[in-house]
Structure formats: C-alpha cells, structure tokens
Amino acid sequence: MATVARIISAEGAQEEVITRFDIHQIIQHAGLMVSFILLAVTGLPLKFPDWAVSQWWAGVWGGIETLRATHHFAAWMMGAVALYHALYILYSVLILKKPFPVKMLPSWRDFIVFFQELGYFLGLRKERPLVDRFHWREKFDYWAIFWGMPVMGISGFIMMYPVWATKFLPGWVVPAALVAHSDEAMLALIWIFMVHIFFNHFAPGVFPLNTSIFTGKVSRERYRREHPLEYERLTGTDERKEAE
C-alpha cells in the first residue's frame, strides 16, 4: 500500500513523497530490465546475422557463441525473475495476508480511460481522465508478460534443445519455434521502446528519467497529477471538488 512521507531533497528542502514500490518490486524490475536488455542486444544479431552491424557486434562480444551463451543466460535470468514474482505474490497474499492486488486486474474502466486519453491527446477533451493506482499502459506492460513469457520461454527452450525436443515433438516445431520466438521478441521491443520508455521517461513531467522504480518513491505532486483517484484515498482529499 502506498504511504506518504517526508524526505530531505538534495537541495536541503523538505519534500513530501509517496512510496509506490517496495524493495522486492524494485529488485524484480531491475532483474527484468537487465535481462531484457541483454536479450535484446544479443538476440538482434542472432536474428539478423547477415547484417554488417550484427557481425561487428558479434566480434565485440568475442564471437557468435558468446552472444548465444549470454542470450541463454539472460533467458534463464528472466525466468528466475518471473518465478520470484510469482512467489512474491503468493507469499504476500497467503502468508502476510495482504489483499490481492485486484487493482492490477484489467477492467472495463481501462477501456474507458483509453478512449478518454485518446480524446485528450487529439484535443477533443480538455482534461486527462482520472486514473487510479495503475494506468491502463501499466496494466498492459504487466499482463503482456503473461502471454509473452510462455511464447518466448517455450519456443526458446525448443531452440536451445532442438534434438531433445524433437524426440517428443514433430520436426516442424523447431522452425515454428524460431518464427514465434523472433516475432514475439520484435513485438516486445517495439512496445518497450515506443510506448513504455517514452511514457515513463520521455513524457513531459518525467523527462529525462523517471526514478520511481529505482527509489520506490514519487513526489506527492506528481502522484496527485498521475494517480488522482488513489491520491484522494491516501490523503482524504477530493481533488475533483477542490478543482471546482
């Protein structure tokens, strides 16, 4: 649960902040970020081996085998992070008796907010839609992993151990796994770089870097602006009435 606290800024002034992420969530994001970056920088040269830049990059890493070994390591790392996250959720709910994070579940309101936000960006609405603890983009980031990980994991495992896999499966699963793995990877890259990174780091109000996932904390003013519905619950204020 988010909490409000005061900290001393680098300039010596007091600043109210809201704790948004705990240490486990910070560690999980760091592991996911590092493994994703490693998978991207080692996977693209494997997908496009005939490109001159890919051959140069493979040489920087010490050869294609080093790239492939690093790619495999990063894949196991991402799998470990996914397991860590699943155990974290189970431990939080079953042992610590914390409420299940239902606010991360998709709802019809997310579709409403999506179209309201689209109208705002197109100039059809004067104000942004009111967002609760999680924005629809944050939910999409989160749940995309649940369909992406099985596709990437299973197809990657087949390509990593093709001889073993074809003992139980027909031979065509290997090229099929290559296509599925490659296409899903490109979809993930496009979304992360064009949507996730832009809105979390380059958008007005957070540029040049959104530090919340590294510190776990967000300034009170930014929280009021980006998550007004949860801000109202935390502070006991009604921003909509005050605005009137």
The per-residue pLDDT for 38 is 96
* Residue 3: strand pairing partners: 19
Residue in this structure with the two tokens 């490693």, named with its chain if needed: 38
Confidence band of 205 (pLDDT split at 50, 70, 90): confident
Using CA atoms, how far apart are residues 77 and 39, in angstroms rounded to an integer? Answer: 10
**Greater pLDDT, 11 or 129:** 129
**Greater pLDDT, 84 or 207:** 84
| pLDDT tens for each residue of 95-138 | 998 888 888 999 999 999 999 999 998 999 988 899 999 999 99
Task: Record the pTM.
Answer: 0.84
The per-residue pLDDT for 61 is 94
Q: What is the mean pLDDT of residues 60-70?
A: 93
Minimum mean pLDDT range among 10-19, 117-126, 158-167: 10-19
Write out the DSSP string of 106-120. --HHHHHHHHHHHHH
Using CA atoms, how far apart are residues 44 and 62, in angstroms rounded to an integer? Answer: 16
Q: Which helix (H) or strand (E) holds 242?
A: helix 239-243
Residue in this structure with the two tokens 């994070």, named with its chain if needed: 101
Domain ranges of the chain: 1-20+216-244, 21-100, 143-206
Please say whether the beta carbons of 7 and 195 come within 8 A. no
Q: What is the mean pLDDT of residues 6-27?
A: 73
Question: Nearest-CA neighbor of 222 among 242, 191, 200?
Answer: 200
Instruction: Please say if the pLDDT value at position 9 is more than 70.
Output: no
Q: What is the mean pLDDT of residues 77-92?
A: 95
28: Cβ–Cβ under 8 A, 6 or more apart, which residues?
Answer: 81, 84, 85, 88
Q: In what order do the strands lie in the sheet containing 3-8?
A: 3-8, 14-19, 217-219
Within 10 Å of residue 84's Cβ, how many Cβ atoms?
15
Instruction: Please say if the pLDDT value at position 11 is more than 60.
Output: no
